[in-house]
Structure 1
Amino acid sequence: MTTRTVTSPPMRVTPPRTAEPRRGFTLGLKRREAITAWLFVAPALIGFLAFFVWPAVRGFYYSFTDFDLLTAPEFVGFDNYVRMGQDPLFWNALGTTSYYVLLNIGLQTILALGIAVLMHRLTQSMVIRGIVILPYLIANVIAALVWFYMFDYQFGIVNEIINAIGLDRVAFFGQSEWAIPTVAFINVWRHMGYTALLIFAGLQTIPKEVYEAGAIDGGSEWRMFRSITLPLLRPVLAMVLVITVTGSFQIFDTIAVTTQGGPVNATRVINYYIYDVAFNRFDFGYGSAMALALFLLLAVFTFLQLRLTRANQSDLG
Structure 2
Amino acid sequence: MERVCSKVRHRLRDPVTGLLFVLPVLVLFLVFRIFPTLGVAGMSLTDWKISGEWSFVGGDNYARLFDDPNFLTSLQVTLVYSAIYVPLTVLVALGTALLLNSVIFMRGLFRGMLFLPYVTSFVFAGIIWRWIYEFDGLLNGLLARIDVGPVAFMEESALVLPALALVSVWKGFGYSMLILLAGLKAIPGSYLEAARVDGAGPFQRFRRITLPLLKPALFFVLIIETITAFQVFDTIYVMTGGGPARASYTLIYGIYEQGFRFFDFGYAATLGMVLFAVVLVISLIQRRLMDRGNT
TM-score of the two chains, using structure 2 as the length reference: 0.89
1:271 aligns to 2:252 (yes or no): yes
CA RMSD, aligned part only?
Answer: 2.7
Pick the aligned partner of 2:192 from 211, 216, 219.
211
1:193 CA drift (Å): 2.1
Gaps of 5+ in 2: 1-10
Distance 1:131 1:283, change over 3 A: same
Q: Measure, in 2, the Cα distance between the counterparts of 1:214 and 1:78.
A: 60
SS at match of 2:53: coil
Determine the structure 1 residue equivalent to 2:131: 149
1:125-136 aligned at under 5 Å gives the runs 125-136=107-118
SS at match of 2:51: coil
Partner of 2:45: 64
Deviation of 1:35 (Å) = 9.9
1:312 aligns with 2:283: no
User: Partners in 2 of 1:32 and 1:311 — Cα distance?
Assistant: 32
C-alpha separation in 2, matches of 1:118 and 1:242: 23
- Number of residue-to-residue matches in the alignment: 292
Contact 1:238 1:306 in 2 (8 A): no
Q: Does 1:239 align with 2:220?
A: yes
**1:75-94 alignment, distance < 5 Å:** 75-94=56-75
Q: Distance in 1 between matches of 2:228 and 2:60?
A: 29
Q: Distance in 1 between matches of 2:81 and 2:257?
A: 19
Identical columns (%): 36
Aligned to 2:79: 98
Q: 1:123 to 1:95 in 2, by over 3 A?
A: farther
- Greater helix content: 2
- Shift of residue 250 of structure 1? 0.2
Select the residue among 151, 161, 169 that pairs with 1:180: 161
- Distance of 1:43 and 1:153 partners within structure 2: 52
- Residue 96 of structure 1 aligns to a residue whose secondary structure is helix
| Structure 1 position 84, deviation (Å) | 0.6
CA shift, 1:121, in A, is: 2.7
| Rg comparison, structure with higher value | 1
Between the aligned partners of 2:17 and 2:210, the Cα distance in structure 1 is 45
CA drift of 1:306 comes to 4.1
Pick which of 37-46 and 234-243 moved more: 37-46
Q: How far apart are residue 38 of structure 1 and its match?
A: 7.5
Q: For residues 140 and 87 of structure 1, what CA distance do their matches in structure 2 show?
A: 30
Measure, in 2, the Cα distance between the counterparts of 1:117 and 1:59: 42
How has the CA–CA distance of structure 1 residues 46 and 303 changed in structure 2, closer, same or farther, with 3 Å as cutoff? closer
Gaps of 5+ in 1: 1-29
Q: Deviations over 1:170-217 (max 9, x none)?
A: 111111111111100001011112211110001111101110111122
Q: Equivalent of 1:281, from 242, 252, 262?
A: 262
Corresponding residue SS for 1:312: helix
For the residues of structure 2 that align with 1:36 and 1:122, how far apart are their CA atoms? Answer: 44
